[in-house]
Structure 1
Amino acid sequence: MKTVYSDLHGLQHAEAEYIRGKRVASFEMPRRVELVLERVRAVALGPVVGIGDYGLETVGKVHDAEFVTFLSTAWQAWSAENGEIDAFPNAWPPPRASRRATKRPGAELGRFCIDMSSPIMAGTWTAAKAAVDAAVTAVDIVAGGDHAAFALCRPPGHHAGRDYFGGYCFLNNAAAAAQAFRDRGYGKVAVLDIDYHHGNGTQDIFYDRADVLTVSIHADPQVEYPYYSGYAEETGEGAGADFNLNLPLPWGTEYTGYGAALATGLGRIAAHGTEALVVSLGVDTFGGDPISHFKLVSDDFTRIGQAIGGLSLPTVFVMEGGYAVEEIGVNAVNVLSGFKAVA
C-alpha cells in the first residue's frame, strides 16, 4: 500500500489552542504524522510517494467559493493589521444576525471559524492545500489500479464544512477524495468516518447528495465535540435523504460496542452498492487519547482494518485525528496492516 506524504504539513504548527477557558499547548502538532510515517516505514507497509498539484478544481466542488477565497487570503489580511501572531476570531455572528462580509480580519474569522482550536498562520493555506492534494493523489493511485492507498494528511479535514473551518481542520480532505472518485467515474462512493469525533464537515458537504453515502461512528454529541451535529436522526435531506448514517456511542465504549457499530456501518456501505470507499482514519478512539473517552486498545485497530478490508472495495484512507502521540503510529498503521491482510 502506497503512503502519500508531504512535509508541507509542518507549516501548520500552532503554539496553543483554547479549551474550556484554558490556553493549552496544541494537541494537533506536526509530530503526529511524523510518528505515523516512521511506523509506515518500520513495518514496510509500502512505498512513500509525494503529492501532485491539483489546483482548486476539487476544492471548489466541496467548499464554497467565498470560503476558499477567505481561507487563501486570511493570513495576509490578519498579519497586515495585527502582525505575525496566530489568527483567532474575536467575534462570532449570533443567531439571526447578518452574515455579510466585514472589513476586519478578526470578525471575518468569526464568520467562517467554529471554535478556538484552529489558528490561521502564515503557512496554513499551503499546508491545508497540500493535505487535499495528498488525498486526491491517493485517489489517483487507486483509480490507476492499486487496491488501496493511504493519504497521510495533515492538517486533518473532517470538521471543515462547505463554508467553515475548525477542529484543527481547514479544508476537507476526505470530501475532496470522495469528490475525486466521483470525478473519475465511480458512480457510488462512501465515506466511513472512524474518528472519535463526528465528521460534521463531511456530513455538511454531502448532506443533500445521493452519490456519496456518509457514515460516521463517533462519541455522543450531547457530551462531545462538535456537539451540534452527529445525532442518529440526521439522515440527509432532499436528494440525500437516507444517505447519511450517524452511529453515536457513549463515553467509555470498548471494542464490543464499537465493533457492533462498525458492522452496522459496513453493512450500510455494502447495501449502498459502493464502488469506492474513503475512510476518515482517526485513531483518537484509543483508550489513552488525552482528549477522548473511548477505550479501544491497539489490537482493536487491526480488527477495524480487517473489517473494512472485508468489503473488498477500492479504498483510500485519509488521516484524521489521534492525539496519544506516542501510540498514534502503531494504531494508525494497525488499521492499514489489518486491511492489507484481508483485502
Structure 2
Amino acid sequence: MNIFLSADHHHHNPPFEILDGRVVPYAETPQRVAIILAALAEAGFAPPIVASPATIADLAAIHTADYLEYLANGSARWQAAGLSAPVFPSAWPLPGLRLRSDCPQAAAGRYTFDLSAPITAGTFTAACSAAGAALAGAAALLAGNTSAYALCRPPGHHAAAAMAGGYCYLNNAALAADYLARSQTSGDATWALRSPTVAVLDIDYHHGNGTQSIFYERNDVLTVSLHADPAYEYPYYLGYADERGAGAGEGYNLNFPLPAGIDDAGYLKALDQALQAIADYGPRYLVVSAGFDTFAGDPLGGFALTTEAYRTIGRSITQLGLPTLIVQEGGYALEALGANVVALLQGVSTA
C-alpha cells in the first residue's frame, strides 16, 4: 500500500478554538501526523511518499474561485486590518441578511460556518498539501494500485465548495472522488447512465456535510456516511436519513445516523448495510473518509469502538473488491490514534 503524506501540514497550527462557549486548545494538531507516522513505521509499512501540493486548478474542480482566493489571502487581510490572529468569524450571513461587505470580518463569516476552523497565515499552504496527498492517492489507483492511504492534515470532509468548518478547509476526499470520476468519463460515455463511477464511504464520527453538499446533485459519485445522529451531534443541520440527493443526484446520497454509545457489534452491523448498498450501486472506485473519533473515549466522539473494530472495518471494505483510497479525517484520542490507523490499514492490506 502506497502512503502519501501532506508534508506541509505543520504550517497550520492554530493556538486555540472555541468549543461550546469555551476557549480550548486546538485539538487538530500536527502531533496527530507524527503519531500516525511513528505507528506506521513500527508496523512495517513503507515510508510515505511526499505528495506535491494541489494547484489552484486542481482545487477549482470542486471549490469556488472566490473561496480559494479567501483561503489564500484572508489571513493577510485580517492582520493588515489590525485584527488579532488567527481569523475567527463573529457574525454570519444568515437567510434574510445581505452579502455586500468585503471587510475581513464579513468575509470570515461568509466562508466559515463555525468556530473550529480558524485561519492562520499557513492554513492554505497546509490545506493544499493535504489535498495534494489525496489527489496523489487517487492517481495511484488509476495507475493500477489496489489501495492507497492519504495522510491528510488538515482533514476535509466538513469543507463545502465555498465554506470551511470542523477543522476542514479543502475537501480532500471529494477532490479525490471527483478526480476519479472525471478520469472515467472519456473512456465510457455510457457508464454514468448505468452506475456511479465512485463511492465515498465516510466513517468519521461526524457527518461529512461538506462531501454530501458537493455531490448532492450528482449521480457519478455515490456518497454514503455512517455517523452520530445530527439530532444530538455536530454538524446538527445535515446528516439525516431522509437526505437522499436532489435532481440528477436523487438516490445517490445515503446517510446512516447512529445512536450515542454504539459498540463494535452495532456499528459493524450498520457498516454491512452501507457496504451492501455500495455493492448494489456498482461503482468502480471507493474513497473512504476515515475518521477515528469513533473510538471509545475519543474526546470529540461518543461511540465505543475498539481498535480491533478498525481491523474488521478494513477487511469488510476490502470485500467489495474495489480499488480503495483511504483518506485521513478525524481522530483525537492521541494515545490510540496510531494503533487505530494501523489496524484499519492492516485490515485493508491483509483481507
TM-score normalized with structure 1 length: 0.97
Q: Equivalents in 2 of 1:82, 1:117: separation in Å? A: 22
- SS of the residue corresponding to residue 107 of structure 2 reads helix
Higher deviation after alignment, 39-48 or 312-321:
39-48
| Cα contact 2:87–2:120 (8 A) shared by 1 | yes
Percent of aligned positions with the same letter in both sequences? 45
- Tell me the residue number matched to 1:260: 269
Match runs of 1:152-231 below 5 Å: 152-185=151-184, 188-231=197-240
- Tell me the residue number matched to 1:58: 58
| Cα contact 1:58–1:179 (8 A) shared by 2 | no
| Cα contact 1:8–1:126 (8 A) shared by 2 | yes
- SS of the residue corresponding to residue 61 of structure 2 reads helix
Offset at 1:84?
A: 6.0
- SS of the residue corresponding to residue 218 of structure 1 reads strand
Offset at 1:298?
A: 0.7
CA deviation map 1:262-312 (0-9, x unaligned): 111111111111100100010100002011100001111101111001111
Q: What amino acid sits opposite 1:319 in the alignment?
A: Q
- Tell me the residue number matched to 1:244: 253
| Structure 1, gaps ≥5 residues long | none
Q: What amino acid sits opposite 1:126 in the alignment?
A: T
Is 1:35–2:35 an aligned residue pair? yes
- SS of the residue corresponding to residue 326 of structure 2 reads strand
| Cα contact 2:54–2:128 (8 A) shared by 1 | no
| Cα contact 1:16–1:26 (8 A) shared by 2 | yes
Q: Equivalents in 2 of 1:177, 1:6: separation in Å? A: 14
- SS of the residue corresponding to residue 8 of structure 2 reads helix
Among 281, 284, 302, which residue is 1:275 paired with?
284
Higher deviation after alignment, 224-233 or 84-93:
84-93
| Structure 2, gaps ≥5 residues long | 186-190, 192-196
| Cα contact 1:45–1:337 (8 A) shared by 2 | no
Offset at 1:184?
A: 2.1
| Cα contact 2:54–2:129 (8 A) shared by 1 | no
Higher deviation after alignment, 27-36 or 227-236:
27-36
- Tell me the residue number matched to 2:188: none
- Tell me the residue number matched to 2:105: 106
- Tell me the residue number matched to 2:19: 19
CA deviation map 1:193-236 (0-9, x unaligned): 00000000000000000000000000000110000000000000
CA RMSD of aligned residues (A): 1.2
Offset at 1:94?
A: 2.4
Among 324, 332, 337, which residue is 1:328 paired with?
337
Q: What amino acid sits opposite 1:12 in the alignment?
A: H
- Tell me the residue number matched to 1:141: 140
Q: What amino acid sits opposite 2:302 in the alignment?
A: H
| Cα contact 2:141–2:147 (8 A) shared by 1 | yes
Q: Equivalents in 2 of 1:114, 1:83: separation in Å? A: 19
Q: Equivalents in 1 of 2:116, 2:245: separation in Å? A: 28
| Cα contact 2:36–2:341 (8 A) shared by 1 | yes
| Cα contact 2:298–2:331 (8 A) shared by 1 | yes
Q: Taking structure 1 as reference, are residues 84 and 122 closer, same or farther at Cα in structure 2, changes over 3 Å only?
A: farther
- SS of the residue corresponding to residue 316 of structure 1 reads strand
Query: Which consecutive segments of 4 or more residues in structure 1 shift more than 6 A?
Result: none
Q: How many residues align?
A: 341
Q: Equivalents in 2 of 1:133, 1:208: separation in Å? A: 25
- SS of the residue corresponding to residue 303 of structure 1 reads helix
Q: What amino acid sits opposite 2:12 in the alignment?
A: Q
Q: Taking structure 1 as reference, are residues 103 and 64 closer, same or farther at Cα in structure 2, changes over 3 Å only?
A: closer
Q: Equivalents in 2 of 1:103, 1:70: separation in Å? A: 10
| Cα contact 1:132–1:153 (8 A) shared by 2 | yes
Is 1:341–2:338 an aligned residue pair? no
| Cα contact 2:53–2:130 (8 A) shared by 1 | no
